[in-house]
Structure 1
């Protein structure tokens, strides 16, 4: 059995690293358990062309600015490099290849057991494991009968394998639009949506939208203080001329299909259309399968207020969507949430 540390952080991506920064500043004894072989979370598994929707000046973790022109939008591989450098810069105590199998509440603390057989002990836990490994695909009629290629956007890497296919992308968010537009240069693509895609201008009065979100305080407004969750975003940032391409029908936008038949999909008006591949860009659910502590609702959602568990003393979260604000699950937002959580941990550890 390892020594008992103040805090163990589960997950070494952006949320875990931001947590480590603030734990270090608070002088706490901690370690970060990361399932992968580098401190980059799920970023290496995202599609190759992924681009952040916030410019570099608004895409940094605490204590270290993103090393890119402040008005440029970082690419996936640049984010991966940044996270690796961040972990090295602050000499964060990372344990790589340490995927957590289960967590047990024991004698006022926690036992954390990894799949490689290691056991750790801590007084508190920050769950920062993100949601990438729990993709959500709606259960539609006939799904099991579909003989084509059905996948989630988390499995999509690049457009070339879909060349000359008939592809349907489901979802009206940023990722769905970006994937559909990229694929449309290689395949015949429809974007299946419940409601037409709405676009938001990226710049107002010459300044990026995120400047105005930060200036007004909307981006990080703590909605939990007024007993509400931040409303889900319903518009897409128009990077790369997305609005023009969809307006021109490449890809075309169609009312969401009602189900599948073996060769394809059944559209809302009853028409049947063959499809080679269907890609669901339909989001994720919190990836917290390891808590054996009574901390989760029946559907697997963590029960918390602003990242502090309402069920288990000493259990905290960083990186959940809408945890405290619009920005909570983003690289620009996890720092503020991590700071808040570490302040709560510090008070918790000082209790007699």
Structure 2
């Protein structure tokens, strides 16, 4: 089957793009490996709540239901995405896992999936940036009796046995999970050599994202001086870090393990019953058989456009601005890309890089 545009990924980026492609009259299909729209959100930890209030959490054309100043939980987000896809009757093919995207012999792309093979003139990779959980190699040497999991597999404190739990990582995810574990009476070791600047959820009676919206923070480019500083600092939003540090044992960098103990850069050691590795993700596109990835596996692109004709990305952090990977702002990037695709469709098809 031949399509004009295939969008890989049916999360917020793919759905926002679908909305704008439909408005622009561009034929497309969205391929998503999950059984339901929004399942990627449903699989996150039970108490996860967005930083952004509902008024700043909507995709183009459909307000987020509920108190506009309240903050939705992860299941609310999942249900909203499913409602969005149904409301605009977007052509999402669920249970359709992409196994290969490669240049077509006559131009365009061949897209192999778990449900068959497609041909497409253009492909937009909207599969997000958080693919492969990363944990340090030392984790392999922890004693078998120590329960350990990556933050992507964390759901609630009941998963973790024993009174002493280490959380390794000082980003937003790490401090949120550490706070929840401390709230449930665990003795938390927070291994966080650096914690970014802390921003309150509310300031001068307004949500911090109200200020971000008014000040243009979410429209900052990573290439701007201020945008570059924000990107490098990774601020903590909404967590009372000062209060948290009074309730946990904060330590520095983990350099090794020995049995059931974490060995620290300062020579200290902490015995633990469980570890949550809040150590982030690495990009991984094993199915993308087009030479647009750097040695680390990250896409080489500028504002979503690659050097390979017809191949684009959407929803990457700082792809165009601070808001590029944020639910309530990804629609702006989607609109720009949809306009480009619509204009490209009116032009003669570019010669295949293979044919060239």
TM-score (norm 1): 0.92
Cross-structure match for 2:352:
none
Cross-structure match for 1:285:
282
The correspondence for 2:255, drawn from 247, 255, 258, is 258
Matched residues in 2 for 1:103 and 1:297: separation? 17
The correspondence for 2:337, drawn from 338, 341, 344, is 341
**Alpha-carbon displacement from aligned partner over 1:157-195 (angstroms, at most 9, x marks no partner):** 111122533211111211111111111124211111112
Distance 1:342 1:51, change over 3 A: same
Deviation at 1:280?
Answer: 1.5
Q: Tell me if 1:221 matches 2:220.
A: yes
8 A contact 1:162–1:183 mirrored in 2: no
Which stretch shows the higher mean deviation, 212-221 or 9-18? Answer: 212-221
Q: Mind listing any 5+ residue stretches in structure 1 that lack a counterpart? A: none
Deviation at 1:35?
Answer: 0.2
Matched residues in 1 for 2:14 and 2:208: separation? 27
8 A contact 1:286–1:301 mirrored in 2: yes
Q: Mind listing any 5+ residue stretches in structure 2 that lack a counterpart? A: 349-356
Matched residues in 2 for 1:66 and 1:252: separation? 39
Q: Equivalent residue of 1:73, what SS?
A: coil
8 A contact 1:167–1:278 mirrored in 2: yes
Deviation at 1:196?
Answer: 4.1
Matched residues in 2 for 1:69 and 1:175: separation? 25
The correspondence for 2:24, drawn from 23, 26, 38, is 26
TM-score (norm 2): 0.91
Cross-structure match for 2:150:
152
Q: Equivalent residue of 1:305, what SS?
A: coil
Matched residues in 2 for 1:326 and 1:276: separation? 38
Distance 1:333 1:283, change over 3 A: farther
8 A contact 1:130–1:287 mirrored in 2: no
Deviation at 1:120?
Answer: 1.0
Deviation at 1:224?
Answer: 4.8
Which stretch shows the higher mean deviation, 87-96 or 130-139? Answer: 130-139
Q: Tell me if 1:298 matches 2:291.
A: no
The correspondence for 1:102, drawn from 100, 103, 108, is 100
Cross-structure match for 1:90:
88
Matched residues in 2 for 1:5 and 1:70: separation? 38
Give runs of aligned pairs for residues 164-175 of structure 1, distance below 5 A.
164-175=162-173
Cross-structure match for 2:231:
231
8 A contact 1:58–1:210 mirrored in 2: yes
Q: Tell me if 1:329 matches 2:333.
A: no
Deviation at 1:287?
Answer: 3.7
Deviation at 1:244?
Answer: 4.9
Q: Equivalent residue of 2:298, what SS?
A: coil
The correspondence for 2:313, drawn from 304, 308, 317, is 317
Q: CA RMSD in A?
A: 1.9
Distance 1:196 1:34, change over 3 A: closer
Q: Equivalent residue of 1:313, what SS?
A: coil
Q: Equivalent residue of 1:111, what SS?
A: strand
Cross-structure match for 2:188:
189
Deviation at 1:351?
Answer: 2.1
8 A contact 1:11–1:41 mirrored in 2: no
Matched residues in 2 for 1:27 and 1:338: separation? 14
Q: Tell me if 1:204 matches 2:203.
A: yes
